[in-house]
Amino acid sequence: MRIGFFGGTFNPPHNGHLRLAEVWRERLALDRFLMIPTGTSPHKTPADVPGETRLAMCRLAAREAGGWLEASDFEVRREGRSYSVITLSALHEQYPDSDFYMIMGADMFLSLETWYDFERLKTLATFCAMPRDGVSAGELEAYATHLAAIGCPGMVADVPPMDVSSSGIRERVRKGLPIDGLVPTSVARYIAENRLYQSPPER
Ligand code: ATP
């Protein structure tokens, strides 16, 4: 099988995440596409949104995307920090003989070499990125060439960036500004109903 692994904090999931996923869905012909929110940190502060809540929003976002994306509780159900190398190793055991594609934005892609156990991580997936926050596809391509030279497979989608972030959405909610068009409708409703991101102010 060809399996997509889309990890993130997803606090909350937004339309930039869904666009990134859609871009790679079109290019990769995946059999399964897993959206995996990170677990709750054991050092969480009252300002943090629990994993279960972020997972619930991922489920709504995935359903609204059309059902091809699946929200997975894999990291939320584990205690402690989530490391991609651990999740990918476990996924390889669960789905033997599969190829994994790890989906990410430019910011994550450019920091790949600093990730926990990069030497093993690079053997477990192909890393797929798109532009974000002023980082061009050209810059990503140059970095992908460097990664390839050190044995890490990467792919870059040359598509226009979409300027939306979870932190920007949290800030808008805190200021009482609308978030329509920035998150899936069902996620906006969930945020309002559960009064997320209104207080206390972020660290
Ligand atoms: P925050 O603003 O809190 O840092 P975020 O918007 O970056 O959050 P994450 O859950 O940390 O959201 O991101 C998960 C993954 O999605 C990361 O690989 C990130 O680069 C990517 N991503 C998030 N937003 C976008 C976007 N607008 N365009 C492309 N990739 C994105």
pLDDT-derived band at 41 (thresholds 50, 70, 90) equals: low
Per the document, the length of the chain is: 203
Atom of ligand 1 nearest to the CA of 107: 20
180: pLDDT confidence band, cut at 50, 70 and 90?
very high
- Whether the per-residue pLDDT at 49 is higher than 80: the answer is yes
Separation of CA 26 and ligand 1 centre (Å): 19
Query: Does residue 126 fall inside a structural domain?
Result: yes
In a domain, 200, yes or no: no
**Is the shortest distance between the CB of 15 and ligand 1 below 6 Å?**
no
CB of 133 sitting under 6 A from ligand 1: no
Q: From the CB of 105, is ligand 1 less than 6 Å away?
A: yes
CATH of the domain at 42: 3.40.50.620
The model's confidence at residue 127, banded by pLDDT at 50, 70 and 90, is: very high
Q: How many domains does one find in the chain?
A: 1
The ligand 1 atom at the shortest distance from the C-alpha of residue 106 is 20
Confidence of residue 156 (pLDDT cuts 50, 70, 90): very high
Rounded to the nearest whole angstrom, what is the distance from the C-alpha of residue 166 to the centroid of ligand 1?
7
Asked whether 104 lines ligand 1 (CB < 6 A), one says yes
What's at 129, amino acid-wise?
A
Q: How confident is residue 46, by pLDDT bands cut at 50, 70 and 90?
A: low
Q: Is residue 58 predicted with pLDDT exceeding 80?
A: yes
What's the confidence (pLDDT) of residue 40? 74
Ligand 1 centre distance from Cα of residue 193 (Å): 24
Q: What is the 3-state secondary structure (H, E, C) of the chain?
A: CEEEEEEECCCCCCHHHHHHHHHHHHHHCCCEEEEEECCCCCCCCCCCCCHHHHHHHHHHHHHHHCCCCEECCCCCCCCCCCCHHHHHHHHHHHCCCCEEEEEEEHHHHCCHHHCCCHHHHCCCCEEEEECECCECHHHHHHHHHHHHHCCCCEEECCCCCCCCCHHHHHHHHHCCCCCECCECHHHHHHHHHCCCCCCCCCC
Give pTM, 2 decimals: 0.95
Distances (CA, A) of 116 to 12, 13, 32, 188: 24, 24, 25, 33
**What is the tens place of the pLDDT at every residue in 66-76?**
999 999 999 99
Distance 23 CA to ligand 1 centre (A): 14
What residues make up the domain containing 76?
2-193
Q: What pLDDT is stored for residue 35 in this prediction?
A: 98
Token representation of residue 57:
């929003």
198 is a domain residue: no
- Above 80 in pLDDT, residue 43? no
Residue 199 lies in a domain: no
